[in-house]
Amino acid sequence: MSQTMYDPARVQSLGEEILDFRHKAVPAALQGLDISEFSGRGLGLNQLQTPLLTLDRDALDFNARLLAAWCEERGILLAPHGKTTMSPELWARQMDLGAWGITLANAAQLRVARHFGFTRLMLANSLTDPQAIRWAADQAADGSRIVSWVDSVDTVALLDRELTGHGTLDVIVERGGHGGRTGARTHQEALAIARAVHDSPQLRLVGVGGYEGALAHTADDAGLAAVRGYLADVVALHEALLAEGLYDADELIATAGGSAYFDDVVDVLGPVRTSGGDGAPHVDVVIRSGAYIVHDDGFYRGISPFSRQDPDGPQSFRSAMHGWVRVVSQPEPGLAILEGGKRDLPFDEGLPVPQVLSAGLGEEGVPLAGAEITAVNDQHAFLRFPEDLDIRPGQVIRLGLSHPCTALDKWTLIPVLDSTRDTSSPTVVGAVRTFF
C-alpha cells in the first residue's frame, strides 16, 4: 500500500546529492562523495569529525516497529508527525510499516512532502495564508489528500473566500483546552465552527481532534487527569457532531496524540472507532506521534508510555540520537568547555547529559560519572566535573540528548550508525537528509 503513498524514486534520489561545505557533519576529506557513497563505504565513527549528531539504525528500526505493531494490535491508525525529523527517508520507512499518512505543521513542510510524492497528509494546524490555502486546494484537486484543521469561524470564512475557484478542502474541527495552544476553548464554540464548515460549499467536515500535549508536561496524576479530561471533551464534540448530522463524509477521523500520552488517547478516543454500515459512518482514530522514532535520553525517556516505569525495559523505546563533542578548553579546575552549543545540540527540554569520555572519536570510553553540563552558549557547553577526573582538550564526550524535534533541525545531514548499544566503534551505514 505504501508504495502508492509516496514516490520511491524521489526518496531514493536523495542518495545522489553531492556532499560539500554545506553539510557540517561531513569532514573536508569526504566532501565530493554523494550520500550513497558516504553511506556505503563502511566508514568508522573515527573517520568523522566533531561536533557531531548521529542516529542509531538499530534503535530507529526498533522504535518504528514497536509503535507500528502496537497500533496494529489496537486497530489504531498512525500519522507520524513528520516535523520531528523532516526526513522523507524516515517518513517512507514509517509508511512502509503501515502508517496511514504523514502529519506536518505548516505549508512549507507540506511542500517538502509533496515534492517526494507523499499523497496523504494531515496539517495539524489551520491554513490562514492565502497562497498556502490555494496551493493546498490545488494539490487536493490533483489527487492528494490534505486534511487541515480549523478552530474559529473566522478561519472558516477566510478559507471560503480564498478557495473560491480553487476547489474544496477536507478539515477537522480542533477542540482546544484552557491554557493550551490552538483549538476552540468551549464545546459551544466548536459546535459553531462545525456548523460553519458544514454550511460552506468549499469545505468538507471530516473529523475532530486536537493536541493534548500542550495541557500537561508530566505523567503524574494531575497531568494525566488534565489530558484525559481534555480527550473526553474531544469525544463529546464528536458525538455532538454525529447527533446533529454535521459531518460531510462517510469516513471520519478522530485524532490526537503526540509521543507522550498516546496510550491515554487510545484509551479515551478508542471507543469512537466504528466500522460503519447501516447508515453509520466509518470512524478511525489516528494518533500523530512523531518523536517516538528517535526518542531521547531526556524528556521522552521519562514521559513516554513505554518507558515511564522502566526506561531501559525490553519494550521501551530506545534513544537513537547522540551528540559527540570534544573538549576545547580546560581553563580552571573542575571546568571544561566543549565545542558544541545551541547551534548543534538541543537544550529546550533539558541540557545535554555527558555519558561517556574517550580519548578520541570511536575509541573505547568510560562512563562519565559526576559530570554535568550546566550551561550552553551558541557554540560552547560548560562541563562541570569532579576535580579528580582527568579531562583534557581533545578528548571526546558522548552526550545523551533531550527532545529530537530541536536536535535534528540543526543538521542538514545526519550520519546513521549501525548501533551504539554494544560497540565503542560503530560503522556508518547511512545518512539522513533533513529539510527544515
Name the domain boundary from 289, 324, 345: 289
Tell me the pLDDT tens digit for each residue of 34-66.
999 999 999 999 999 999 999 999 999 999 999
Predicted confidence at residue 408, as pLDDT, reads 98
Tell me the pLDDT tens digit for each residue of 304-325.
999 898 999 999 999 999 999 9
Percent of the chain with pLDDT over 70: 99
Question: Are residues 318 and 278 both part of a single domain?
Answer: no
Question: Are residues 166 and 282 both part of a single domain?
Answer: yes
Predicted confidence at residue 165, as pLDDT, reads 87
Question: Are residues 218 and 356 both part of a single domain?
Answer: no
Question: Are residues 256 and 344 both part of a single domain?
Answer: no
Predicted confidence at residue 172, as pLDDT, reads 98
Q: Is residue 99 part of a domain?
A: no
| CATH code at position 196 | 3.20.20.10
Q: Is residue 103 part of a domain?
A: no
Predicted confidence at residue 421, as pLDDT, reads 75
Label each residue of the chain as H, E or C: CHHHCCCHHHHHHHHHCECCCCCCCCCHHHCCCEHHHHHHCCCEHHHCCCCEEEEEHHHHHHHHHHHHHHHHHHCCEECCEHHHCCCHHHHHHHHHCCCCCEEECCHHHHHHHHHCCCCEEEEEEECCCHHHHHHHHHHHHCCCEEEEEECCHHHHHHHHHHHCCCCCEEEEEEECCCCCCCCECCHHHHHHHHHHHHHCCCEEEEEEECCCHHHCCCCCHHHHHHHHHHHHHHHHHHHHHHHHCCCCCCEEEEEECCCCCHHHHHHHHHHHCEEEECCEEEEEEEECCCHHHCCCCCHHHHHCCCCCCCCCCCCCCCCCEEEEEEEEEEEECCEEEECCCCCCCCCCCCCCEEEEEECCCCCCEEECCCCEEEEECCCCEEEECCCCCCCCCCCEEEEECCCHHHCHHHCCEEEEECCCCCCCCCEEEEEEECCC
Q: How many CB atoms lie within 10 A of CB 308?
A: 14
The number of domains in the chain is 2
Predicted confidence at residue 109, as pLDDT, reads 98
- Treating both helix axes as pointing N-terminal to C-terminal, what angle do 88-96 and 57-74 enclose, rounded to 10 degrees? 40
Q: Is residue 102 part of a domain?
A: no
Predicted confidence at residue 423, as pLDDT, reads 65
Predicted confidence at residue 424, as pLDDT, reads 72
Nearest to 192 by CA among 150, 239, 153: 153
Question: Are residues 235 and 356 both part of a single domain?
Answer: no
Q: Is residue 188 part of a domain?
A: yes
Q: Is residue 92 part of a domain?
A: no
Q: Is residue 71 part of a domain?
A: no
Question: Are residues 258 and 325 both part of a single domain?
Answer: no
Domain containing 17 equals 8-56+314-433
Predicted confidence at residue 2, as pLDDT, reads 45
Predicted confidence at residue 159, as pLDDT, reads 98
Q: Which residues of the chain have pLDDT under 70?
A: 1-4, 422-423
